[in-house]
Structures are given as C-alpha cells and as structure tokens.
C-alpha cells in the first residue's frame, strides 16, 4: 500500500496521538478466560474463567478501590454470546485505570452471536434440510462462507422492467416474473433505488393489460407490497421512484435453483440449503445469527465509560430482523425511513451494529476482526469522544463497516441542522486509522465503508477501502448549508478503489452540508464503477453533495472513474493541486470552484 500512496505528490502523513487519560505506572492485574474454562475458577492462566461476563463482574467488585491497570486475556476459541454483553460504569476504567480485553499472544478468540447447526438431513431433490424451532434469521454461513438467501434472478443479476403507479400505490412488472409462491407474504421485493435499497414484503398481485401500460409489456402484474412499506415508499420523494430500476425477489423455496442458496420456511420451521459441489453433509458446519448487538458499551452524560480497550478479538454473527417484520427502506447510508410523510420531509432511524459505544471516551479497538455480521459492524454513537479504531479488518458485513456520530434523531426531520445545547452528546475527536474495509453492503447495498453523520474533529486517515457496492467514505448529514455542529473533519491519506459497484449517485468520498475547516487531502482513488443497471446518476471520485461548503480538497489523485467525472461539487469549497486529471474536469453544480 505504501507504493500506491507514493503516487501522491508531497504526501504528508498525519500523525495522530490519542490522548489516553493519564494512568500512573502500576503493577497490572491480570485475568484469563477460555472457552474451556469455568466461571467458578479464580481466573488465572491455569484456571481461567469461561465468560467475559464473569471477568467484567469480577473487575467491578474492586474497580475504583485501587489504581491498578487490568488486562483480561482471552484464550483462542469460540465464545458463544447468548445475550448482549453490556459494559456500564461499573465496568469502566477511569483516570487512573485502564481495562483491556486482549487476545492472548497469537491466539484467536472469536465472539459469536450465532448458533451452530449440525443436524442436516438429505431430501429427495438433493437439498439439505434441518428443523430449527423458535428463531428467525436472515443470514446463513456454511463452512465459514456466507450462503445466499434464495432469490430470483440469481445473485449478480437483476430485473429492470418496473413501473410505479403512485396513485394506486402499485408496482407494475412483467406478469411472467411473479407467481403465487408458497408463503407468498414472506417473499420480499428488493429494489435498488439509485443510492439506497428497499426491502418490501409482498401482499398481493393482479394481472392486467390496461392500455396505459401495454407499451411496456404485453401483460403486466400490479404488485402490492405490505404496510408500512407501501405508505413509506409511495409517500416519500427520495430516493426517487424512477421507472426501470434494478430489482429482484427474495426468500421463497421456489427460488432455490443453484448451489449455495438457502431458504427458511417459518411456517414449518424448516431450513433448506442447496450444498456446494464439494460440501459433504457429515462434516458441514453452519451458523445462524441470533443477536443484533454483541457488545454494548454505554455510559451516560455525567459519567461516561473511560479507558476501555479491545485488542485482537474477532466479532462474528450478528443480525437485524426488522426487514422480515416490517420491511426496511434505506434512505441513505443505512438510515432507514420510519414515517410515511409526504414529500421530501423524512424521519429515519439508524441500522444497529454488532458493537455499539454510547457516552464513551478514550476507548479503543485495535487489531480486531469484524466479519460475517448481519447489520453494521461498529457504531460510535452519542457522547463518544477521543476514541481510536486502528488496524482493524472489516469484511463480509451486511451494512456499514463503521458508523459514527448522530445522523438524525428519529423525532427530527432529516434536513434540520444538528446544534445540540448539550455538547456532551456530540461525537468528536475520534481517530479512524489504518483499517482495512472490504466486501461490505452484502445485504444492504446502500451501505458505506465509513459513514459519519454530525461529527466534528473526526480524523479518517490511511484506511484501505475497496470492493464496495456504494460509497467508500461518507461524512456529513442534513443537506444544508446552515451552521451545524460539524467542523474540522479530516479525510487524509486513504486508499479507495473498486467502489460504487452496485449503486449510483455516490463516490469514493462523499460529503453533505456545511463543515468548515474540513480537509480532504492526499487520498488516492481509482476504479470508481458504474453498473449498467445502477441508475443514471453519476458516480464520482470526490462528491461534495448538497450544502457541502467550507471544505479544502487538496493533493488527491483520482484515476479511472467510469463516468469520466472525477469530482462533483454542490457548494462553496476550495479545490487545488489535485492530480491525475486536469482541474477543468470538475462538474460544478451550483457551487463556487476556486
């Protein structure tokens, strides 16, 4: 990666030193946990605990009574997480004490929110099946690989013959593409709406040949989706309901037609899987997720969590079940619509994450792996300050890899600037550095590698981000040039490539709204894609969207943008000394280019 960064002239490496609270040198207290341990043990290396819960509760008994640093070593192996592990103020470090949960030496501890399956049976048609009672799930991993929830057309392909009848609240498609499938109302219609996807459960359909639409197909079906999805999608203006968007059906037994696909019949509680050619039933290991959040670190405005650190741990197997229960309409960056308000007035909620921090300061995650997760990976939410995400690996993630800062409160309309009176709630002074992010947005294709809302003094530095369906880094929210809490963010020295592979109207780096003092500098961007069926909006290298102003864009290199438009600016910002393309190749939309 250093050779690639060398293409940037006069690259300046921005060195960030996180201000861990002053901790005096003390003899360290050490505990050990192991999958083969026992919570009645004393927690020594010879007699380790079995669970993190036992370790953190043991620490809580004497925490604050002395000023010694504490390390909990996790031995290698699988740690099933049956309930969210909650760290509160009793489990926090303080100005005199750090608490670290770390992998032991070169071992690989795995925190899994999943259930292991191993009781497959063969069916007469070559599928494997298994009875799984009292659980629903949206992901299946077989022999360490994500399987495909059965869909038509198959993964990598889409239909595009689609029309919207807004007045009737119906979607028109070719009648040959829909049938009265078993468990019809569990089937989902998934539409890629330029920069965001909509998961909508089917309700009914009727065949029709009314003259208004016969130009499109000889006979068509009028499809109704269930509520609340129907009211949401037809009443909101954005993302726009353009005709001929890419779409597919998902979640029916009848869709299983190639190896690697699966379907779970909720009525019979039976899982079906089409094995790959080299898979044998006697040694197939499968996992389904059962938890939305594995780790919750939650302080409060008066007493935030402090000096809590995680190193060398693998986080796996989270989920998100809302799409199965009430649909999910992504509005942008995995913030989904929650109220059917007519027009461009919208209210949203954020997708959950496997690890969430709220009112936490001087905490860190270093050298961890986040993989096979069914929503977002990690969320630095309200009241998080001075935290470090460094040298982590993110891959095989259903939604965003990293999300941080508030976007919109569920009770606040998305265009209203965020200017909280209580500054303790602001997300600020985080360092997101040296992380490797790839293969995210596996289910929710409007996902972003690093999605930052109303944050200030956030540094996103020297990350490698690649193979994404939509944008690489997105900073900002609100679509407004009005004053808000954002300022002095830095997007520097990142390597971003092979992005925007599925969606449109995105960029390797994307911003929204006024954020004075923000710098986009020394980034190398190449191979920004535009799929044939992704919509007609531009994908670009650096995209300063609505309200973006007060930003310096300097010394970036952008190469091989599919649309031939390396920059889009919609606001007042400063642009200078960018390389790889002439400065005149900038699409200026209602902005001032200096």
Instruction: Tell me, yes or no, whether 373 lies in a domain.
Output: yes
Domain extent, residue 295, equals 2-113+291-319+351-593
Q: Are residues 518 and 425 in the same domain?
A: yes
Q: Are residues 50 and 188 in the same domain?
A: no
CA separation for the pair 306, 20 (Å, rounded)? 9
> What pLDDT does residue 114 have?
98
Q: Are residues 387 and 514 in the same domain?
A: yes
Q: Are residues 169 and 232 in the same domain?
A: yes
Q: Are residues 295 and 410 in the same domain?
A: yes
Instruction: Tell me, yes or no, whether 454 lies in a domain.
Output: yes
Per residue in 562-574, pLDDT (tens digit) is 988 888 888 778 8
Question: Which whole-number Å values give the CA distances from 273 to 260, 443, 571, in the listed order?
Answer: 7, 18, 51
Q: Please, which residues have CB within 8 angstroms of residue 480's CB and are 6 or more apart in sequence?
A: 415, 416, 417, 513, 514, 546, 547
Q: Which helix (H) or strand (E) holds 324?
A: helix 322-326
Tally of CB atoms within 10 A around 61: 9
Q: Are residues 260 and 389 in the same domain?
A: no
> What pLDDT does residue 2 have?
41
> What pLDDT does residue 68 have?
83
Counting beta carbons within 10 angstroms of the beta carbon of residue 166, is it exposed (0 to 12), middle (13 to 18) or buried (19 or more)? exposed
CA separation for the pair 273, 14 (Å, rounded)? 49
- Check which CATH number belongs to the domain holding 14 and give it: 2.160.20.10
For 341-345, which contacts have Cβ atoms below 8 Å and span 24 or more sequence positions? 341/235, 341/236, 342/235, 342/236, 343/235, 343/236, 343/237, 344/236, 344/237, 344/238, 344/415, 345/413, 345/415
Instruction: Tell me, yes or no, whether 329 lies in a domain.
Output: no
Q: What are phi and psi of 425, to 5 degrees?
A: -85, -15
Q: Are residues 397 and 479 in the same domain?
A: yes
Please give the angle made by the CA atoms of 284, 287 and 293, to the nearest 5 degrees: 165
Rg from Cα positions in the chain: 25
Q: Which helix (H) or strand (E) holds 61?
A: helix 52-62
Please give the angle made by the CA atoms of 245, 246 and 251, to the nearest 5 degrees: 130
Q: Are residues 366 and 480 in the same domain?
A: yes
Tally of CB atoms within 10 A around 90: 12
Nearest CA-CA partner of 315 in 147, 104, 113, 52: 113
Q: Domain total for the chain?
A: 2
Q: Are residues 189 and 305 in the same domain?
A: no
Q: Please, which residues have CB within 8 angstroms of residue 402's CB and are 6 or more apart in sequence?
A: 376, 377, 378, 380, 389, 394, 432, 435, 437, 449, 450, 451
Give me 222's structure tokens: 């009028």
CA separation for the pair 569, 89 (Å, rounded)? 44
Instruction: Tell me, yes or no, whether 76 lies in a domain.
Output: yes
Give me 263's structure tokens: 């379907």
Instruction: Tell me, yes or no, whether 510 lies in a domain.
Output: yes
Tally of CB atoms within 10 A around 423: 11
State which residues of the chain have pLDDT below 50. Answer: 1-24, 581-594
Which one of 268, 287, 306 terminates a domain? 287
Instruction: Tell me, yes or no, whether 525 lies in a domain.
Output: yes
CA separation for the pair 487, 454 (Å, rounded)? 9
Nearest CA-CA partner of 49 in 30, 22, 21, 28: 30
Q: Are residues 85 and 141 in the same domain?
A: no
> What pLDDT does residue 7 have?
43
Q: Are residues 315 and 395 in the same domain?
A: yes
> What pLDDT does residue 419 have?
94
Instruction: Tell me, yes or no, whether 341 lies in a domain.
Output: no
Give the start-end residues of each E strand in 89-147.
Answer: 99-103, 109-112, 114-117, 121-122, 128-131, 141-142, 145-146
Instruction: Tell me, yes or no, whether 331 lies in a domain.
Output: no
Q: Are residues 369 and 505 in the same domain?
A: yes
> What pLDDT does residue 16 have?
37
> What pLDDT does residue 32 have?
98
């Amino acid at each position: 990666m250093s050779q690639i960064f060398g293409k940037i002239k006069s690259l300046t490496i921005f060195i960030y030193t996180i201000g861990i609270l002053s901790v005096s040198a003390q003899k360290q207290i050490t505990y050990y946990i192991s999958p083969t341990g026992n919570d009645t043990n004393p927690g020594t290396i010879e007699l380790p605990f079995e669970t993190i819960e036992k370790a953190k509760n043991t620490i809580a008994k004497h925490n604050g009574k002395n000023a010694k640093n504490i390390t909990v070593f996790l031995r290698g192996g699988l740690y099933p997480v049956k309930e969210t592990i909650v760290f509160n103020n009793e489990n926090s470090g303080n100005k005199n004490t750090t608490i670290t949960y770390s992998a032991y030496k070169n071992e690989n501890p795995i925190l899994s929110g999943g259930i292991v399956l191993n009781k497959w049976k063969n069916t007469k048609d070559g599928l494997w099946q298994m009875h799984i009672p009292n659980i629903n799930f949206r992901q299946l991993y077989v022999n360490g690989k994500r399987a495909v929830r059965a869909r038509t057309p198959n993964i990598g392909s889409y239909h595009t013959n689609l029309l919207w009848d807004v007045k009737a609240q119906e979607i028109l498609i070719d009648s040959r593409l829909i049938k009265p499938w078993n468990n019809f109302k569990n089937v989902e219609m998934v539409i890629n709406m330029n920069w965001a996807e909509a998961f909508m459960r089917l309700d009914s359909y009727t065949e029709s040949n009314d003259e208004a639409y016969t130009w499109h197909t000889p006979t068509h079906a009028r499809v109704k989706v269930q509520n609340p999805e129907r009211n949401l999608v037809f009443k909101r203006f954005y993302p726009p309901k353009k005709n001929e968007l890419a779409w597919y059906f998902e979640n029916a037994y009848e869709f299983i037609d190639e190896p690697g696909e699966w379907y779970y019949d909720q009525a019979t509680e039976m899982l079906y899987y089409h094995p790959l050619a080299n898979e044998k039933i006697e040694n197939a290991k499968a996992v389904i997720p059962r938890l939305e959040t594995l780790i919750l670190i939650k302080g409060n405005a008066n007493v935030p969590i402090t000096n809590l650190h995680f190193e060398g741990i693998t986080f796996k197997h989270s989920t998100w079940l809302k799409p199965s229960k009430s649909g999910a309409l992504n509005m942008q960056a995995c913030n989904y619509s929650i109220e059917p308000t007519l027009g461009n007035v919208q209210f949203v909620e954020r997708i959950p994450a496997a690890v969430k921090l709220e009112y936490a300061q001087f905490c860190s995650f270093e050298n961890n792996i986040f993989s096979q997760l069914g929503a977002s990976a990690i969320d630095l939410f309200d009241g998080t300050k001075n935290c470090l995400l460094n040298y982590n690996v993110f891959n095989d993630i259903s939604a965003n890899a990293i999300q941080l800062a508030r976007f919109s409160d569920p009770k606040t309309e998305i265009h209203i600037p965020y200017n909280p009176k209580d500054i303790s709630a602001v997300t600020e002074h985080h360092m997101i550095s040296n992380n490797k992010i790839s293969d995210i947005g596996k289910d929710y294709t409007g996902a972003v590698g690093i999605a930052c809302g109303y944050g200030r003094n956030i540094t996103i530095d020297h990350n490698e981000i690649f193979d994404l369906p939509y944008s690489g880094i997105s900073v900002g929210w609100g679509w407004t040039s009005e004053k808000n809490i954002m300022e002095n963010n830095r997007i520097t020295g990142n390597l971003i490539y092979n992005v925007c592979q599925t969606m449109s109207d995105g960029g390797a780096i994307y911003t929204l709204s006024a954020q004075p003092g923000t710098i986009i500098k020394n980034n190398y961007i190449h191979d920004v894609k535009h799929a044939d069926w992704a919509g007609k909006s531009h994908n670009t290298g650096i995209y300063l969207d609505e309200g973006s102003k007060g930003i310096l864009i300097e010394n970036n290199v952008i190469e091989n943008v599919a649309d031939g438009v390396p920059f889009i600016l919609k606001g007042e910002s400063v642009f200078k000394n960018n390389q790889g393309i002439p400065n005149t190749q900038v699409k200026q939309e209602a902005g001032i280019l200096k």
